[in-house]
Chains A and B, each alone.
Chain A
Amino acid sequence: MSEHRSTLERELERLSPPRIPFDQLTRRRDRKHRAQRIRAGVVGLALAIAVAWLGVNVIRSGDSVPANETPSPTPSPTEDSAPAVNIDWERVPGPSIGGDAIVDVRTGQVTPLPASITSLRNPGGYAVAPGGDVLLFEADAGGSSDSQIFVANVDGSNVRQLTDAPGGAAAGGWSPDGTTIVANVGGGGGRHDIDLVLIDVATGETTVLTSGSDREFHSPHFSSDGELILISRFQKYRELEAPYPEDQGSDVYGMPVEGGDAALVFEDRWNATFSPDGRTIVYEQMVVVLVYEQTVVVENGGGSEVWLADADGSNPRPLVPNDEWFGDTPSWSPDGTRIVYSKHPHDLDSLVAVVDVASGTPTFSVLAPGSPGSPVAVWLDDNTLLIDV
């Protein structure tokens, strides 16, 4: 036994967890099965309604569909008509970076983010104001590990701490007019209690929209028309019990910017965001991940792919057809023609990839070999990315 192994084995012996009773596992399995049955019933009902609706409309439209023809069905996720591609992500052109940086997607030129920003503790979670010249981000402040929200010009000037909330704060996104941000700030309750707030960037004035658990209000951002705050909510907060663990499924809800009840917008579509023209959404779809001895280890929860759908949620299709590797955290280019997202090929370190939305073709990539986690990119303008490694 190696020296390290014996040290670790001794340390392992110090941990004395309580035994899990087998009937606890049985109850967990039963809950999961019950939830799956409920979910299957809901999906079946939705399909029945959709079929009935389609039938009524076909009858109403009369001569638009000849009797001997059937209307074209909406393509299902498995009926992808795009040609098969086999992407070698290593061959997609682009540079490598070793820290937070600004990258020109035309030339591949890399510019480190200004030291006035990177010298703060753990900066990240960047969001770019609509004009492209002001950044919103999070960093640790005041000797605490709690993050606070900062704003700064992209050139590094005018760094300003916007919040000083006990328990920390996390930036969401900008309003379309660039005057307001939506954010989560620590609430007065327990560790997981937060307020969902709007903050006037010029004055720092804060308006609380609602309060609750952080798992009800994560990843908040404005809809493209500025009318709604879109939030992701873990599925345990729905009336239906989630068919898989709470942190593996997330629905998107919309709340009026004036506050009020949040309504379900997209079910089971993690981090869904609208394109700049409001016609399309991009979101994360959970997928199968791991096979061991020819047997699937994990289904529906191992990782995610980036998918597109029409704004009403119909016509779902993968952003890059037939690509086998996971992807997440998509972001639309300001002109809506491209999407940048984080990519996780199994045989490579994580990278961010720029994909042409119309063709599904990767056009540019940035490898982040030293990234301890997953690099995340946002657009500064149509030709420039800001990458948080």
Chain B
Amino acid sequence: MEDAEVTWKGVAEVVAVERSFEDFFEQEQERLLRLIWMVTGSLPEAEDIVQDAFLRVWERWPKVSAMESSTGYLHHAAMNIFRNRYRRARLGLRKAIGAAPPVDAFDSIEARISVSRALGSLTRKQRAALVLTELLGYPADEAGRMLGVRASTIRSLSSSARAALRSARELIDE
């Protein structure tokens, strides 16, 4: 009887953990998907990255859920997966046609406003730096760790990206 209680208690704990992760997934997926879509310019690629990032969080959920910011861990996971895929695309797929660079949604969006056009003109790394520093508010050194570059590189990438956005806004204002 005691064994059965222990077993049921274990099952209940597992269910609670799973439920809690599902809540986290439902709560965070939309924004993360938008952010990564903005970075990659490709919805299918963004969906892939986001699902892999959530799987990594899920595997360590008991630990991640106890963190001060589980979302921070999710961002690190997603950006790391993006970084690795991007680097792989540059290095490995350079030798294979058509796979790199992938289709970029910002290229094909009808240039309805200049901001879209400005984002489309940025490299993926510039967009990633912009998303991490401007939208998510990470300091340059932490964003650098996520993307595998120096803080100074992040500052330089963000600065050129901001300049492009600034020009776009000036065009709109005119």
Contact = CB atoms under 8 A, between A and B. Distances in A.
A28 B146 CA distance: 24
Contact of A15 (B22, B38, B90, B145): B38
A69 interface: no
Contacts, number: 182
A193 B76 CA distance: 34
A20 to B, nearest CB: 6
Contact of B165 (A4, A168, A184, A289): A4
A248 B88 contact: yes
B34 A15 contact: yes
A376 B89 CA distance: 14
A347 B150 contact: yes
Contacts of A295: 60, 63-64, 67, 73
A20 B96 contact: no
B37 A373 contact: no
A124 B77 CA distance: 31
A169 B97 CA distance: 6
B47 A20 contact: yes
Contacts of A61: none
A274 interface: no
B103 to A, nearest CB: 8
A22 B148 CA distance: 31
Contacts of A14: 116
Contacts of B68: 293
Contacts of B135: 5, 8-9, 12
A20 B150 contact: no
Contacts of B99: 192, 214-215, 218
Interface stretch (A70-78, A104-112, A203-211, A298-306): A298-306
Given A11-B115, A25-B25, A250-B92, A303 B131 contact: no
State the main secondary structure of chain B at its contact with A. Answer: helix
B55 A297 contact: no
B73 A376 contact: no
B99 to A, nearest CB: 5
Nearest to B89: A247
A147 B101 CA distance: 11
B97 A184 contact: yes
Contact of A271 (B50, B90, B92): B92
Query: In which size bucket is the chain B interface?
Result: 35 or more
B30 interface: yes
Contact of B50 (A20, A297, A328): A20
Interface in A325-345: 326, 328-329, 342, 344
Contact of B97 (A25, A170, A329, A346): A170
A147 B115 CA distance: 29
B48 interface: yes
State the main secondary structure of chain A at its contact with B. Answer: mixed
A297 B77 contact: yes
Given A4-B134, A22-B25, A25-B25, A214 B88 contact: no
Given A8-B134, A295-B60, A17 B97 contact: no
A28 B56 CA distance: 12
A194 interface: yes
A185 B162 CA distance: 38
B94 A24 contact: no
A28 B33 contact: no
A25 B51 contact: yes
A218 B96 contact: yes
A4 B150 contact: no
B140 interface: no
Contacts of B91: 328-329, 342, 374, 376
B94 to A, nearest CB: 6
Contacts of B55: 25, 28-29, 32
Given A170-B97, A293-B67, A7 B48 contact: no
Contact of A19 (B22, B30, B81): B30
B97 A185 contact: yes
B121 interface: no
A4 B123 CA distance: 17
Contact of A346 (B88, B145, B169): B145
B46 interface: yes
Interface of A: 2-5, 7-12, 14-15, 17, 19-20, 22, 24-25, 28-29, 32, 124-125, 138, 146-147, 167-172, 184-186, 191-194, 214-215, 217-220, 232, 245, 247-248, 250, 270-271, 289-290, 292-293, 295-298, 301-303, 326, 328-329, 342, 344, 346-349, 372-374, 376
Interface of B: 22, 25-26, 29-30, 33-35, 37-38, 43, 46-48, 50-52, 54-56, 58, 60, 63-64, 67-68, 72-73, 76-77, 80-81, 84-85, 87-99, 115-116, 119, 123, 125, 130-131, 134-135, 144-146, 148-150, 153, 162, 165-166, 169
- A-B pairs, top 5 by smallest CB distance, nearest first, are A214-B96, A218-B96, A219-B95, A292-B76, A17-B33
